[in-house]
């Protein structure tokens, strides 16, 4: 085997415990010959020569080969000598050293590779860390900016479109695919759905204008449904507006979502409705009164002269009062009636100029969550309006928490008459009055309420009912009845819903 001296030095250097980096060994000729002759008895074996990378780079440094002595050697231009010697295989385990060196070299290479990978990872991690911080900041910003109405409205519209599509499908089934109108409506609805999707990608504010069209479509659908029931030979004209010539509430329609309240998604508590002024019943005035997020204080409310204005959130009159309490609000003859904050008093607010016209104590009425409704706080005192006028639904200690109904003089707020029921108020979810009859609801599950109890102040009769009342969200915060359109206006966790009541016809009553 032929060896280059330089390599051996390099090798020794590599194998020494302190070897961390490999540097080309430099030596002078005399020293080299002494070292070599002293250490190695050289012979002349045959074999391949192997040059370590460092050694070769050094040797390649302009070396001029020339015979020197018995050894094959050379001196480079800097006067540094290098020589090849031969050593016997038996004296020194050169091949093992060779393998060891190779492994060491290999290892150091691999270590370098791994180490640079680690450096890469560290860099990546710091990049990801920055990205994460950026994302966190952005999410926080999004959380602070409450979601815009426009976006929410799209959600609402999508819910409505789904509702309408379901309705159309049932209608179609009922007509057995024979009606041209239905087909036409279906096309229009599909068109509308596409439009909603397109608008969503374009201009988010246009959504408000579509609502009008949706409303028109819904009305067409209702007419369609009516004509269907006429076709089905059930010629039952609904009782005249404001009339009580019927046998009471028999059923209720599915809800239709009118809108999200004007304050937004987080205002889950409140009430809404349509004013009833018997002298001028067809004139519309809609009111929306979301409570503050404490679920207690009524501070701001809005009035709209038409349903279109309400749908478009336009031409609203906004007022502030200090303060109403709870969602037991009702509006009658352009006055709002509400429990006054932190008292057992009731107040009348003139909606023409937002003045508090009258406040008066409601005798015996429990308040401040003594006997509120189940799942709804601060509604110990709940006003109601029906064909006969203004009512208040509450409970007293004397009634042991059972519902008390009082008829009020809407001018003076004096109690005209009182009925005590056998229904515990805190176990019903809400209540409303129709033609002097109290109807109470209870919660069946997150999707359904039930009108389960009635008390008739005309006769003193009370009893149970089982009218299923579907809902969009979990909690019915309030219910208001309008005698002219005979609809229920329901505030359902911030969403404004309306329902049509179905009455038992006089002719059917005795069947």
- Return the number of the residue (77 or 279) whose C-beta is nearest ligand NAG: 279
Region binding ligand NAG by CB under 6 A among candidate stretches 241-249, 321-329, 352-360, 367-375 = 352-360
CB of 106 to ligand NAG, least distance (A): 4
Cα-trace Rg, the chain: 45
Q: Is 254 in the site for ligand NAG (CB under 6 A)?
A: yes
Among 31, 110, 166, 209, indicate the residue that binds ligand NAG (CB under 6 A): 110
CB of 316 to ligand NAG, least distance (A): 19
Q: Is 216 in the site for ligand NAG (CB under 6 A)?
A: no
With beta carbons less than 8 A apart as the criterion, state whether 256 and 495 touch. Answer: no
- Return the number of the residue (56 or 206) whose C-beta is nearest ligand NAG: 206
Region binding ligand NAG by CB under 6 A among candidate stretches 71-79, 315-323, 346-354, 368-376 = 346-354
- Return the number of the residue (282 or 353) whose C-beta is nearest ligand NAG: 353
Q: Is 473 in the site for ligand NAG (CB under 6 A)?
A: no
Task: Quote the tokens at residue 66.
Answer: 């020339």
Q: Which residues 37-76 are close enough to bind ligand NAG by CB under 6 A?
A: 70
- Number of residues counted as binding ligand NAG (CB under 6 A): 22
3-class secondary-structure state, position 252: strand
Q: How far apart are CA 147 and CA 161, in angstroms?
A: 21
Q: Is 464 in the site for ligand NAG (CB under 6 A)?
A: no
Q: Is 299 in the site for ligand NAG (CB under 6 A)?
A: no
Region binding ligand NAG by CB under 6 A among candidate stretches 88-96, 103-111, 362-370, 450-458 = 103-111
Q: Is 100 in the site for ligand NAG (CB under 6 A)?
A: no
- Return the number of the residue (27 or 195) whose C-beta is nearest ligand NAG: 195
CB of 78 to ligand NAG, least distance (A): 27
Among 137, 139, 147, 216, indicate the residue that binds ligand NAG (CB under 6 A): 137
Region binding ligand NAG by CB under 6 A among candidate stretches 48-56, 101-109, 228-236, 288-296 = 101-109
CB of 225 to ligand NAG, least distance (A): 9
Q: Which residues 179-198 are close enough to bind ligand NAG by CB under 6 A?
A: 187-188, 191, 195
Q: Which of 383, 158, 153 is nearest to 262 (CA)?
A: 153
Backbone φ, ψ for residue 338 (5° rounding): -155, 150
Residue found under tokens 């990872």:
121
CB of 62 to ligand NAG, least distance (A): 29
CB of 369 to ligand NAG, least distance (A): 31
- Helix or strand (DSSP H, E) at 302: strand 297-304
Region binding ligand NAG by CB under 6 A among candidate stretches 57-65, 143-151, 249-257, 306-314 = 249-257
With beta carbons less than 8 A apart as the criterion, state whether 438 and 457 touch. Answer: yes
Provide the CA 73 distance to its chain's centre, in angstroms: 84
Q: Is 219 in the site for ligand NAG (CB under 6 A)?
A: no
Q: Which of 10, 434, 83 is nearest to 251 (CA)?
A: 434
Q: Is 357 in the site for ligand NAG (CB under 6 A)?
A: yes
Q: Is 251 in the site for ligand NAG (CB under 6 A)?
A: yes
- Return the number of the residue (187 or 216) whose C-beta is nearest ligand NAG: 187
Q: Which long-range contacts (CB under 8 A, 24 or more apart) does 37-42 make?
A: 40/85, 40/87, 40/91, 40/92, 41/87, 41/88, 41/91, 42/71, 42/85, 42/86, 42/87
- Helix or strand (DSSP H, E) at 503: strand 495-505
Q: Is 350 in the site for ligand NAG (CB under 6 A)?
A: yes
Q: Helices (H) and strands (E) in the chain — how many of each?
A: 9, 24
Among 352, 445, 446, 459, indicate the residue that binds ligand NAG (CB under 6 A): 352
Q: How far apart are CA 393 and CA 453, in angstroms?
A: 14
- Helix or strand (DSSP H, E) at 491: strand 487-492
Region binding ligand NAG by CB under 6 A among candidate stretches 20-28, 115-123, 306-314, 405-413 = 405-413
Q: Is 411 in the site for ligand NAG (CB under 6 A)?
A: yes
Residue found under tokens 């050094």:
58
Q: What is the DSSP string of 317-375?
A: EEEEEEEEEEEEEEEETTEEEEEETTSSEEEEEETTTTEEEEEEE-TTB--SSSS-BTT
Instruction: From residue 465, give the alpha-carbon distance in Å to each of 250, 421, 441.
Output: 9, 15, 10
- Return the number of the residue (184 or 458) whose C-beta is nearest ligand NAG: 184
Q: Which of 75, 71, 98 is nearest to 86 (CA)?
A: 71
Buried b (16+ CB within 10 A) or exposed e, 232-264: eeeeeeebeebebebbbbeebbebbbbbbbbbe
- Return the number of the residue (62 or 237) whose C-beta is nearest ligand NAG: 237
Among 72, 253, 343, 418, indicate the residue that binds ligand NAG (CB under 6 A): 253
Q: Which residues bind ligand NAG (CB under 6 A)?
A: 70, 102-103, 106, 110, 134, 137, 187-188, 191, 195, 251, 253-254, 335, 350, 352-353, 357, 409, 411-412
């Amino acid at each position: 085997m032929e060896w280059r001296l330089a390599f051996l030095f390099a090798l020794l250097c590599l194998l020494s415990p302190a070897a961390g980096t490999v540097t080309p060994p430099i030596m002078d000729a005399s020293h080299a010959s002494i070292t070599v002759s002293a250490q190695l008895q050289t012979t002349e074996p045959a074999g391949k020569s192997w040059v370590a990378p460092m050694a070769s780079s050094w040797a390649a440094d302009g070396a001029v080969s020339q015979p020197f002595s018995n050894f094959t050697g050379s001196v480079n231009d800097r006067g540094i000598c290098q020589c090849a010697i031969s050593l016997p295989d038996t004296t020194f385990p050169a091949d093992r050293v060779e393998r060891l060196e190779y492994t060491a070299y290999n290892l150091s290479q691999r270590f370098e590779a791994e180490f640079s990978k680690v450096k890469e990872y560290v860099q990546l991690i710091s990049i990801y860390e920055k990205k994460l911080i950026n994302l966190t900041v952005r999410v926080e910003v999004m959380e602070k900016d409450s979601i815009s109405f426009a976006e929410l409205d799209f959600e609402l519209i999508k819910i409505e479109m789904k509702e309408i599509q379901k309705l159309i499908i049932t209608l179609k089934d009922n007509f057995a695919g024979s009606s041209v109108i239905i087909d036409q409506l279906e096309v229009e609805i599909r068109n509308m759905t596409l439009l909603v999707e397109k608008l969503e990608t374009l201009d988010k504010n246009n959504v408000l204008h579509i609502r009008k069209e949706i409303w028109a479509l819904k009305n067409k659908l209702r007419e369609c449904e009516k004509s269907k029931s006429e076709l089905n030979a059930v010629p039952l004209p609904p009782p005249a507006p404001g009339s009580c010539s019927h046998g009471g509430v028999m059923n209720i329609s599915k809800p239709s979502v009118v809108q999200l309240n004007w304050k937004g998604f987080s205002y889950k508590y409140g009430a809404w409705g349509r004013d009833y002024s018997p002298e001028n019943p067809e004139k519309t005035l809609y009111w929306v009164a979301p409570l503050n997020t404490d679920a207690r204080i009524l501070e701001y409310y809005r009035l709209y002269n038409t349903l279109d204005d309400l749908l478009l959130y336009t031409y609203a009159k906004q007022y502030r009062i200090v303060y109403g309490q709870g969602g037991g609000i009702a509006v009658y003859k352009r006055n709002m009636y509400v429990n006054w904050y932190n008292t057992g008093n009731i107040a009348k607010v003139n909606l023409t100029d937002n003045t508090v016209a009258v406040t008066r104590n409601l005798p015996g009425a429990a308040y401040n969550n003594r006997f509120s409704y189940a799942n709804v706080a601060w509604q110990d005192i709940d006003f109601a309006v029906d064909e006969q006028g203004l009512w208040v639904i509450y409970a007293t200690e004397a009634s042991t928490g059972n519902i008390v109904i009082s008829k009020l003089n809407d001018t003076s707020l004096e109690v005209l008459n009182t009925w005590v029921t056998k229904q515990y108020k805190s176990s019903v979810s809400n209540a409303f009055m129709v033609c002097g009859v109290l109807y109470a609801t209870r919660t069946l599950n997150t999707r359904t309420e039930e009108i389960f109890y009635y008390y008739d102040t005309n006769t003193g009769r009370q009893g149970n009912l089982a009218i299923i009342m579907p809902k969009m969200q979990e909690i019915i915060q309030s219910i208001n009845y309008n005698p002219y359109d005979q609809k229920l206006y329901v505030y359902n966790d911030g969403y404004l819903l309306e329902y049509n009541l179905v009455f038992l016809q006089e002719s059917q009553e005795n069947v």
